Structure 1
Amino acid sequence: MNEAYYRQHAQRFYDDTVNVDMAALYQPFIGCLPPGARILDAGCGSGRDVKAFSKMGFAVDAFDASPELVALARRLTGKPVEQMRFDEINAAARYDGIWCCASLLHVPEAGLPDVMAKLAKALKPGGVWYLSFKYGSGEREKEGRRFTDMDEAGLRRIVDKLNGSFKQNSVTGESGNRLAANIEIKKTWQTGDLRSGRSDERWLNAIISNNPN
């Protein structure tokens, strides 16, 4: 469903998002990172944030599931943006920060714990992670796209499941999962949509950390 939407509307999505001023959302994230940190932009869309973080001096890897958006992001950034899905992530303790701006919202709610576990494992101990969802609860379809909306309580439930899974796997001796065993929500806040004419839409933003054991 989402793949078909972006196949047909990639250029329109790019045009609507590439010039949005994200400075206010960058600050809580980059303020937690060391100079020259390595960032993963997971679901990078237009490549807007890849370009911004690179200009700030960070080392940035990026991917998106849409081949059309990957091509546009490569053209904008000059970076080797990968075409990849969330369930294909296999990095371990590689990133100081992960940026998931309006990307996890397309993952079905039942699949979020597994996807977020892969992302959490990709974080270094002490790493931080930004994510955003349209504010609400439950799943819905709009104009050919599937959305999973999220509020603070829903995010807390998913993080609790995530930590419970890591704890269980640690007991069974699966060493890969011990890389991320204490995920903590550091901050949540709500914002309006930054795109022109959509300020009535609300977003849940969060900073999550991977605390060392």
Structure 2
Amino acid sequence: MGSHSASKARMQHTDDATLNYYREHAREVFERYEAVEQSSIAAHFLSSLQPNSRVIDVGAGSGRDLRKLMELGFDAYGAEPADELRQLAIDKHPQLKDRLFAGSLPGGLTTYRKYDAVVCSAVLMHIPPNQLFDAILALRDALNEQGRLLISIPATRPDIDENHRDHNGRLFSPVTPDQLKLLCKRLAFECIAEHINDDALGRSETTWHTLLFVRQ
């Protein structure tokens, strides 16, 4: 791929139909997330991230994980592409005002600083497969050397059709832990931990893989 084509690819954003769902159903999504005290990935924050790290939560949603990171003493920030969802989070939790900003993968994550860690929970499955490399590259570019990348992806999702979409039209690209580890290895990440978690929203048919990488 030439430099112009690569640049164009990096300017692409999250799947439009998926983003539109989160924008049009922002309040419903916000209230659903807020009803759960803690996400599955949050259980791994203290064991996975260095104390007092500067962390960015990519795909911050309602800001639930961002607030948890702040409560645990991390210098935490968040990026969320759905304007409506982001505004609801700031309105309900004013402490997020200067910490939650617009940003999406793969091409819309513009950061003006480097972070010690990136949290990316339930996001990568919404990225079209041909953009996944650029998405991981964007996450790597946001990290300091030896920075940590904590990712969760669905292990099982039985409600997906042959086009890899759910009944709401959201994209759920099939990404396995082995595929993710191979891709991250190409981008100089080492996988140092892996877990399987139940779904925080109580969906018995859905489980999650959580993987921890370190940038080499």
Give the TM-score band, short-chain normalised: 0.7 to 0.9
Which structure has more relative contact order (CA 8 Å, sep 6+)? It is: 2
Q: Secondary structure at the match of 2:130?
A: helix
Tell whether 2:178 aligns with 1:147: no
5+ residue gaps, structure 2, are 1-16
Deviations 1:30-84 (A, max 9, x none): 3243332111010100100111111112111111110111101212332231122
Query: Hey, what's the Cα distance between the residues in 2 that align with 1:189 and 1:153?
Result: 13
Question: Contact (CA 8 Å) 2:190, 2:215: kept in 1 or not?
Answer: yes
CA distance in 2, matches of 1:199, 1:55: 29
2:206: which partner in 1? 201
Q: Within the alignment, does 1:49 sit opposite 2:69 as a pair? A: no
* Residue 11 (structure 2) aligns with: none
Does the aligned pair in 2 maintain the 1:29–1:128 contact within 8 Å? no
What amino acid does structure 2 have at the position aligned with 1:201? T
Q: Answer with 22-31 or 95-104: which moved more.
A: 22-31
Query: SS of 1:70's equivalent?
Result: helix
1:188 to 167, 175, 194: 194
Deviations for 1:95-135, whole angstroms, at most 9, x for unmatched residues? 11111111222111111111111111211112111111112
Question: Is the CA contact (8 Å cut-off) linking 1:105 and 1:132 kept in structure 2?
Answer: no
Q: 1:19 Cα shift?
A: 3.4
Q: How many residues align?
A: 191
Aligned with 2:181: secondary structure?
A: helix
2:102 pairs, out of 83, 97, 109, with 83
Distance 1:154 1:5 in 2: 27
The answer to whether the 8 Å contact 2:18/2:171 transfers is yes
Task: Report the AA paired with residue 206 of structure 2.
Answer: E
**Letter paired with 1:186:** I
Q: What TM-score, normalized to structure 2?
A: 0.79
Distance in structure 2 (CA, Å) of the matches to 1:115 and 1:77: 28
Question: Are the counterparts in 1 of residues 103 and 110 from structure 2 also a CA contact under 8 Å?
Answer: no
Letter in 1 for 2:209: L
Q: Give the counterpart letter for 2:173 in structure 1.
A: T
Could you list the runs of 5+ residues in structure 1 that have no partner in the other structure? 164-181
C-alpha separation in 1, matches of 2:208 and 2:163:
15
Query: Does the 8 A contact of 1:134 with 1:204 survive in 2?
Result: yes
- Contact kept in structure 2, 1:93 and 1:124, CA below 8 Å: no
Cα distance between partner residues in 2 of 1:88 and 1:23: 25
Q: Quote the offset at 1:27 in angstroms.
A: 4.2
CA RMSD of aligned residues (A): 2.2
Instruction: Give the distance between the partners of 1:104 and 1:27, measured in 2 at CA.
Output: 19
Q: 1:63 to 1:23 in 2, by over 3 A?
A: closer
**C-alpha distance in structure 1 between counterparts of 2:184 and 2:52, whole Å:** 28
Instruction: Return the structure number with greater strand share.
Output: 1
Q: Secondary structure at the match of 1:187?
A: strand
Sequence identity of aligned pairs in percent? 24
